[in-house]
């Protein structure tokens, strides 16, 4: 799996959706998305029914990449004042860490032409 801490990530994302639904309860696209996910996923339906509300602005996420292994990144959410409702997420690795080395390797793999 791409997310090492899948359950935590899933809880966080459902909590973010719940927070957005509270902010704008008449957002048809969001209402449609929640409806579709609720009918197709028992897991989503259970998480949604727990009524989580999360606005994590900072934290750490762990990812698993099939080519380089596990990568741990810190993140920070920044609101964009010139574009209300938009948020920029910044992900960084600890300088000199194994995660930084793995990101560097991924960057070199991405820049290598495939023949």
φ and ψ at residue 27, rounded to 5 degrees: -75, 105
Q: How far is CA 88 from CA 6, 52, 82, in A?
A: 22, 22, 12
pLDDT at position 115: 67
Which of 7-16, 50-59, 61-70 has maximum average pLDDT? 61-70
Tokens coding 62: 């762990």
Average pLDDT over residues 69-73: 96
pLDDT at position 49: 93
Tokens coding 97: 């860490």
pLDDT digits 0-9 by tens, 13-48: 899 899 889 888 999 999 999 999 999 999 999 999
Tokens coding 11: 């809880």
Average pLDDT over residues 82-92: 89
């Amino acid at each position: 799996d791409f997310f090492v801490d899948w359950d935590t990530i899933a809880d966080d994302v459902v909590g973010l959706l719940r927070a957005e639904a509270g902010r704008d309860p008449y957002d048809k696209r969001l209402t449609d998305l929640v409806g579709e996910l609720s009918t197709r996923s028992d897991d989503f339906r259970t998480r949604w029914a727990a009524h989580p509300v999360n606005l994590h602005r900072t934290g750490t996420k762990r990812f698993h990449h099939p080519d380089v292994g596990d990568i741990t990144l810190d993140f920070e959410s920044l609101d964009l004042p010139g574009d209300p409702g938009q948020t920029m997420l910044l992900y960084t690795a600890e300088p000199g860490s194994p995660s930084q080395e793995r990101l560097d390797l991924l960057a070199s793999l991405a820049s290598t032409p495939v023949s």
